[in-house]
Amino acid sequence: MKAAVLIAMGLLAAPTTARPRAGRPPAPSPARTPAPAAAVWHAPADVDAEPRVRAPWRAGVAERLVDVTDAFVGAPYVVSPLGEGFGQDPDPRLRFDAFDCTTFVETALALALGHDLDDSRRVLDRIRYRGDVVAYAERRHFPESEWLPGLQQAGLLVDVTRAVGGDDIVVATKTLDPARWARARGKHLPSLPAERLPSGPASLDVWALAAAAAHPERIPAGTVLSVVRVDFKNVPVRVSHQGLVVDKDGQRVLRHAADRLHHHVVDEPLDRFFARLQRYGRWPVVGVHLAQVVPAADWRVRLGVGEPSPASPAASTPLAPPAP
């Protein structure tokens, strides 16, 4: 279970035999039979995605995230479907036929914020990698120490956990050092040189699970939700899952690539999702970290994407209101 979590979060490259290739339907995992989708799902091609990216914004960034990902609901869950297109992980840098939890969020952000598909490819590279170089070693592998703080520093995400959770906040810290990496090496780790591995503490504000389950309606649409677990010393992460909180058909849901139970991209009502989290016993859930998608006016400059995109409502989307 832990190895699957780390693969899903991008810490390991899954065996290529487990991933569908372009034009080929994904094979079911040999360990379990995927749950059937509500209908036969067909992967959108680039020609289908381009108009969604180019379409005018109908409202704010929350609605934009829904519009660019509607076609992905029903897509199969496949571990680590994106790579660099070469080297250690030769999978494509962008694809629409399979997702894991984090690559779904990354793809959604890139399509929502790009002004055409080529621009979205550039945005996706800047989301997934720490700098200008597309390489396995430069990928944001570790959610607490790289992915979340990196995208918050770049101005794409704003931490709203305390604004939403009020007094029901705990601080989840993961401390890594060479001794811990040495004990874990060869088990569930990416093939990275020792100097590339994070060291020291990384902390996240976390809304306690019981409080979040009691008031899921407080979470604003357009938020990246990250599930935070208890600290296991031999597991280098505490974030085990990510998804997008959106409004769909009058209901607030988590749109996510869900490995457990669903095995595809689904819209899961937030109350049902939190009820499931409360039942996890082997690796208990502490709560959730909330990062609202509210791009700063200069986010493209900070990420190094290039010329600014056409004016959009993104930069003026209001932050989550304080908790009552």
pLDDT tens, residue by residue, 209-262 = 999 999 999 999 999 999 999 998 888 889 999 999 999 999 999 999 999 788
Give me 294's structure tokens. Answer: 């509210």
Query: What is the percent of the chain where pLDDT is above 90?
Result: 66
Q: Is the pLDDT of residue 52 over 50?
A: yes
Calculate the alpha carbon distances from 74 to 35, 99, 132, 143, 214 in Å.
Answer: 11, 10, 33, 25, 28
Q: Is the pLDDT of residue 19 over 80?
A: no
pLDDT of residue 20: 40
Dump pLDDT digits (tens) for 148-206: 999 999 999 999 999 999 999 999 999 988 887 877 765 557 788 888 889 999 999 99
Confidence tier at 319 by pLDDT (50, 70, 90): low
Cα 85 to Cα 135: distance, rounded to the nearest angstrom? 9
Query: What does the pLDDT average to over 101-129?
Result: 96
Q: Is the pLDDT of residue 308 over 80?
A: no
Query: What does the pLDDT average to over 63-70?
Result: 96
The model's pTM: 0.86
Superfamily (CATH) of domain 2-296 = putative xylanase like domain (2.30.260.10)
Our CA angle for 278, 269, 142, nearest 5°, is 65
Backbone torsions φ then ψ of 191, nearest 5 degrees: -85, 85
287 or 259: whose pLDDT is higher? 287
Contact 258, 77 (CB under 8 A): yes
pLDDT of residue 116: 94
* DSSP3 helix / strand / coil % (the chain, rounded to 5): 35, 20, 45
Identify each DSSP E strand in the chain by its residue range: 157-159, 169-176, 200-208, 223-229, 239-248, 251-258, 264-269, 285-293
Query: What does the pLDDT average to over 44-57?
Result: 91
Contact 139, 10 (CB under 8 A): yes
Element (H, E) at 118: helix 117-128
Q: Hey, how many other C-beta atoms are within 10 angstroms of the C-beta on 134?
A: 17
45 or 308: whose pLDDT is higher? 45
Query: What does the pLDDT average to over 279-292?
Result: 96
If you write DSSP's letter for every residue of 56-107 in order, what string do you get?
A: PPSSSHHHHHHHHHGGGTTPBB-SS----SBTTB-S-SS-SS-B-HHHHHHH
Confidence tier at 12 by pLDDT (50, 70, 90): very low
Mean pLDDT check: name the lowest of 134-138, 182-186, 273-277.
182-186
Confidence tier at 17 by pLDDT (50, 70, 90): very low
Cα 21 to Cα 148: distance, rounded to the nearest angstrom? 29
Q: Is the pLDDT of residue 11 over 50?
A: no
176 or 324: whose pLDDT is higher? 176
Q: Is the pLDDT of residue 3 over 80?
A: no
Query: What does the pLDDT average to over 84-108?
Result: 96
